[in-house]
Structure 1
Amino acid sequence: MSSNKSKVSIIAINYNSTAYTMDFIASIDKYHGKEVEIIIVDNASEVSPKEEILTKFPDVVVLECETNLGFAGGNNLGYRHASGDFIFFANNDTLFTAGLLDGLMQVFQDYPGVGLVCPKIKFFEPYGLIQYAGSTPLNPWTARNSTYGAKEKDLGQYDKTYETAFPHGAAMMVPRAVIEKAGMMPEDYFLYYEELDWGAMLKRAGYKLIYNGKVEIIHRESSSIGKSNPFKTYYMNRNRILFVKRNFPKIHQLFFSLYFGLLAFPKGLLVFALKGEWEHCKALWSAVRWHFKSPLSRAVKYESV
């Protein structure tokens, strides 16, 4: 970290994936050594990673949770123990590359009003393909959006710096001062969509979200919970609806309800049924039912950007 001496705290969550966490820490150590603070939050794994981590990396802070706090809850716990001026939230299945932190921190110096910066995110396998190079806004009727560069070969076409509609939760740098003003990640989601909601919170507080494609991080996507399972189906759909309730105006909520109820929901059930994936059917149904039964869902109020 040659260009900026402000202390960086790196926070990552471990959940039954100690091997990935060890690789993650080793990649940080390769480029930064003791220049940064590393905080690993263990979200109630079956086997605690603390002894293994501290044996090899004694300067790492390991926080052990008695229960799984989810993505936002775990990261917020890590933030409460962090001492850095800049907080870098990263998935434990990512790998650092040269110049990553300096490149992200430079954006805050070069662009006024920035609240969050994400790097280019590339897949670990197949190597060289882009996962994230910024994103478009959500469609106000369907709550769908697109990710720039998704599954494209990296030919330098996204080696730029520009504003993005939403961050990617696998790698986000935020100044402490921004979090103190805008608030920590919303914990209502448990998993998925919380970084989108947090991005909306930061924008409501007057900050810009920036993508910096001049630096990159490598991501072993969904290594801890699998690429497709009923758990993911449940939270992706439950939280998509929750995000709409929290962030869309009433007229768009109405049209989304029609779109989801008449098209997306029955189509999803049909696709899973045709594949014989009955657990996914139950997960999708449970995701919708949660919004009729949960006091949390009924208490949600729309906040405009």
Structure 2
Amino acid sequence: MAASRTAVIVLNWNGAGDTERCLESLLRLAADDFSIFVCDNASSDDSVARLRAWQQDHLPALNALRATGIEMRLIETGGNLGYAGGNNVGLRVALAEGFSSFWILNNDCEPEPDSLCWLRRRLAEDPAIGLCGSTLVYAHDRQRVQALGGGSFSWLKGRGAAIGGLSDARLTIDQTSVERRLSFVNGASMLVTRAFIEAVGLMSEDYFLYWEELDWAARSGGRFRLGYAPQSIVRHKVGASIGTSDFGWGSALSVYYLTRNRVRFCWRHSRWSLPFVYADIARQVARQCVTGNWPRARLLARAMAGFPFASATGGIA
């Protein structure tokens, strides 16, 4: 029965409130042939207890859905495995159970009821697509786009940029134009096919946070197309778990991994970008030194060198 169904993978880490709202939105999906796998990445708060309580409170609704084949499972990953590692746990379970597609959805996202239907329709239109993205809009401003499907990557500068970022969500979108520009699908909402995973493998886990989706697309080596379903609307809080920001500097953790993994990705896939990348990060370090922001300067320098993450006080986290 799972052969034509979608597994929805939702990763939780100390974010039960956001995960609960995400699950509420999933229960309103128009589709009736999917299952939900919530993977908890060894949360240090009461997330697991809260999510089990949520599951118990929603048993009548879940039992009604189970009659159509829909179910929800909570999986404890056993450790903080990062974005790729935690999602891969759910993917392995769903792969073993024979699902044909896998919707990786951030726990701080709330999809519109028809969002999964539009994603799957785009896959049906073009079987060459291996990864398909949604229209991500900001949860605090639903008329403002975070990304149309994903982003483009400059192989010269070693830098990715969201397609359509900060544009008006009410404008007409040229799907073909967006797909031509896609270098990667945004991992906040990413539908991936079984064929893609079987050919390319699971996500690389050594990034821990960020750049995994760029790596996944690059590893496919052009064997699959990247798709975009404009009508699949997903509201995204952005950085609810770890402090990512699209508007200026984010948390120390997010800045560190964004910087370190930019270097790591380019070393693997775009070494000709490295001179520009190193120069760009060095300029950022210099600017922080000029303004006297020594903790951030040290953070960027450590990230560029690939040292373990260190907090502003110097402790390893």
TM-score (norm 2): 0.82
Q: Distance in 1 between matches of 2:91 and 2:119?
A: 18
Change (3 A) 1:63 1:69: same
* Alignment partner of 2:198 out of 171, 180, 185: 180
Name the residue aligned to 1:222: 239
**Count of residues in Structure 1 that have an aligned counterpart in Structure 2:** 281
- Deviation, 1:266, is 2.5
Q: Separation in 1 of the partners of 2:159 and 2:74?
A: 37
Alignment partner, residue 261 of structure 2? 239
Whole-Å separation in 1 of the counterparts to 2:212 and 2:118 = 25
Q: Is the 8 A contact 1:53 1:60 kept in 2?
A: no
Counterpart mapping for 1:64-79 below 5 A? 64-79=76-91
- Residue 21, structure 1, aligned to residue 19, structure 2: yes
1:34-72 CA distance string (max 9 Å, x none): 742111111111124233223332542111133210111
CA–CA distance in structure 2, aligned partners of residues 57 and 156 of structure 1: 38
Larger strand proportion of the pair: 2
- Change over 3 Å in CA distance of 1:29–1:274 after alignment to 2: farther
8 Å Cα contact 1:115/1:208 also seen in 2: yes
Contact 1:70 1:190 in 2 (8 A): yes
Are residue 106 (structure 1) and residue 128 (structure 2) matched?
no
Structure 1 vs Structure 2: percent identity of aligned residues? 28
The worse-fitting range, judged by mean Cα deviation, of 77-86 and 135-144 is 135-144
Q: Distance in 1 between matches of 2:31 and 2:52?
A: 15
CA distance in 2, matches of 1:126, 1:14: 24
1:205 deviates by: 5.9
Q: Is there any run of 5+ residues in structure 1 with no aligned partner, and where?
A: 293-305
Q: Give the distance between the partners of 1:215 and 1:172, measured in 2 at CA.
A: 11
Aligned to 1:95: 110
- Structure 2 spans left out of the alignment, 5+ residues: 57-70, 309-317
Q: Which amino acid aligns with 2:167?
A: E
User: How does the TM-score come out when normalised to structure 1?
Assistant: 0.85
C-alpha deviation, 1:104, in angstroms? 0.6
Question: Could you say what secondary structure the match of 1:246 adopts?
Answer: helix
- Tell me the SS of whatever aligns to 1:128: strand
Q: Which amino acid aligns with 1:216?
A: I
C-alpha contact 2:129 2:224 (8 A) present in aligned 1: yes
Q: What root-mean-square deviation, in Å, do the aligned CA atoms of Structure 1 and Structure 2 show? A: 2.2
Q: 1:171 to 1:66 in 2, by over 3 A?
A: same
Structure 1 distance, partners of 2:286, 2:258, is: 17
Describe how 1:266-305 pairs up with structure 2 within 5 A. Answer: 266-290=282-306
8 A Cα contact 1:116 1:208, kept in partner: yes
Kindly indicate whether residue 183 of structure 2 is the aligned counterpart of residue 165 of structure 1.
yes
| Cα 1:124/1:159, change in 2 over 3 Å | farther
1:78-115 deviation per Cα after TM superposition (whole angstroms, max 9, x unaligned): 11111321100010000010211111111121113111
Q: Tell me by how many angstroms 1:286 deviates.
A: 1.1
What is the CA-CA distance between 1:211 and the residue it aligns to? 1.3
CA distance in 2, matches of 1:159, 1:52: 42
Please give the secondary structure, in 2, of the residue aligned with 1:9: strand
- Is 26-35 or 144-153 further displaced after alignment? 26-35
